[in-house]
Amino acid sequence: MDANSPQMKPFEGYPPNNYVSPPPSSPIPLGGQVHYVASPHHQPGAYIVPIAQPYQSPEVSQIRDWLPWSITNMFIGWIIGGILPLIFSLVCRNYKRSNNASSARTMSILALVFNILVTLGGIGGYIALIVSLVLVNRAVQGAISCSYLVYPYRC
């Protein structure tokens, strides 16, 4: 038989001898891995094997990871100050995915504390920057308006 023949033969050893077909009435779930199985006419078909969804205990789901606040603190905390809360938030999220409640709670508390410190420090830094710019502007304006050509050089 040549390659252009309309009749196809199954591959050698396909379907396997220990093949078990999926139950016909079972619903095919969304997601999962695709396994190719043989149909009654020896043509490959597809069956989606369901993946076990990770179980998250109610205790773990109530732990907050403070990730949006940590991302905001990247801007408030002058980028360098916002890195540490962001790391704690991401580690907390990973511990939550693995159902490790005690470690997730510890990282959540650390992320909260460092977010508070970075927010307060960042706001204080911006206030100090504005005050120093105003003072420098006044000093420059005072130096420009003062004439040093008249003795005793007082302004």
Tokens of 87: 């790391």
Look-up: residue for tokens 């990282």? 107
Say if 13 falls within a structural domain: no
Domain assignment present for residue 45? The answer is no
Length of the chain: 155
20 domain-assigned = no
Average pLDDT over residues 117-139: 95
Whether the per-residue pLDDT at 140 is higher than 60: the answer is yes
Sequence-distant (≥ 6) Cβ neighbours of residue 108 within 8 angstroms: 63, 64, 65, 66, 88, 92
Contact by Cβ (8 Å): 52, 29: no
Q: Is the pLDDT of residue 95 over 60?
A: yes
Please state, rounded to an integer, the average pLDDT across all residues of the chain. 78
Task: Determine the structural domain holding residue 144 and report its residue range.
Answer: 58-151
- Residue at 91 is within a domain: yes
Number of domains making up the chain: 1
Q: What is the pTM of this model?
A: 0.60
Residue 7 lies in a domain: no
For residue 46, the SS3 value is strand
